[in-house]
């Protein structure tokens, strides 16, 4: 049936979306853990400013985020121009632009999940570990990280799902280049713009729904499993 007849370009868009999402969450996770821990455990002047900046992408229109990235990292931007002129590095309208756009948009979701998870950890457990001779780093990796693991994995999966659905920032900063920056949402948009592209849009939208559903179910399953094991 025509409705299930995927083309090479469609498989490219699906594969590209998964690659972008995986690279995005793998790169951003260490920074998200550090930021979540700082927001959960540290007290300092201006903390509310950092909190606001980190979570700002949650309320900003994605197109605005893409525009700001273009202003800063485009070949005419004040950082992008230096990279292009001095190092011959171009970020905008490349695969890495799609990754960066997804990272900025999804980063607050990971940080929020990790921050809440760390806040729920009894500070007394960390204090007891330090009293018994464990240093700050050992306490962090042997007490904090294992206990915060449900939030970390949940944030990882939610960020992955958000990257799969990213559209506005990607099309603004990375463009809609087939095989290079055309992710699943962009391919759906392109199909909707072409007469007779309803079958393409429908099957790609179906794949998008399935991937997002699997990610959400996986997040819930991992959470329940980890919490259950913690109480055993």
Q: Say yes or no: domain 2-230 is CATH 2.40.50.140.
A: no
Q: How many CA atoms lie within 13 A of 194 on its CB side?
A: 13
The one-character DSSP state at 133 is T
What confidence score (pLDDT) does residue 108 get? Answer: 93
Q: Report whether 179 contacts 8 (CB < 8 A).
A: no
What confidence score (pLDDT) does residue 3 get? Answer: 59
Helices (H), 42-173: 47-55, 62-73, 80-87, 95-119, 123-131, 136-139, 145-164, 168-173
What confidence score (pLDDT) does residue 31 get? Answer: 94
What are 175-204's pLDDT values in tens digits? 999 889 999 999 999 998 888 788 888 989
Q: Where are the domains of the chain?
A: 2-230
> Which residue shows structure tokens 């632009």?
97
What confidence score (pLDDT) does residue 2 get? Answer: 55
Q: How many CA atoms lie within 13 A of 181 on its CB side?
A: 23
In 3D, which of 141, 85, 81, 148 has the Cα closest to residue 113?
Answer: 148
Query: DSSP states of 154-185 as a string?
Result: HHHHHHHHHHHT--HHHHHHT---TTTT--HH
CA distances 150 to 111, 183, 232, Å, are 13, 29, 15
What confidence score (pLDDT) does residue 170 get? Answer: 93
What confidence score (pLDDT) does residue 43 get? Answer: 87
Distance CA 193, CA 97 (A): 23
Which residue numbers in the chain have pLDDT < 70?
1-4, 223, 225-232
């Amino acid at each position: 049936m025509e409705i299930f007849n995927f083309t090479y370009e469609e498989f490219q868009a699906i594969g590209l979306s998964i690659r972008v999402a995986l690279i995005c969450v793998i790169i951003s996770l260490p920074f998200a853990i550090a930021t979540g821990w700082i927001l959960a455990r540290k007290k300092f002047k201006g903390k509310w400013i950092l909190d606001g900046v980190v979570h700002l992408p949650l309320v900003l229109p994605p197109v605005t985020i893409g525009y700001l990235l273009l202003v800063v990292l485009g070949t005419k931007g004040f950082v992008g121009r230096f990279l292009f002129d001095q190092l011959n590095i171009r970020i905008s309208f490349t695969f890495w632009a799609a990754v960066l756009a997804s990272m900025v948009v999804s980063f607050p979701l990971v940080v929020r999940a990790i921050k809440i998870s760390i806040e729920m950890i009894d500070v007394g457990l960390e204090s007891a570990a330090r009293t018994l001779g464990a240093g700050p780093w050992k306490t962090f990796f042997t007490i904090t990280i294992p206990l915060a693991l449900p939030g970390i994995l949940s944030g990882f999966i939610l960020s992955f799902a958000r990257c799969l659905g990213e559209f506005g920032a990607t099309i603004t900063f990375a463009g809609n280049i087939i095989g290079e920056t055309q992710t699943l949402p962009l391919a759906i948009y392109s199909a909707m713009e072409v007469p007779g592209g309803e079958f393409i849009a429908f099957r790609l939208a179906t794949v998008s729904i399935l991937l997002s559903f699997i990610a959400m179910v996986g997040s819930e399953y991992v959470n329940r499993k980890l919490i259950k094991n913690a109480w055993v």
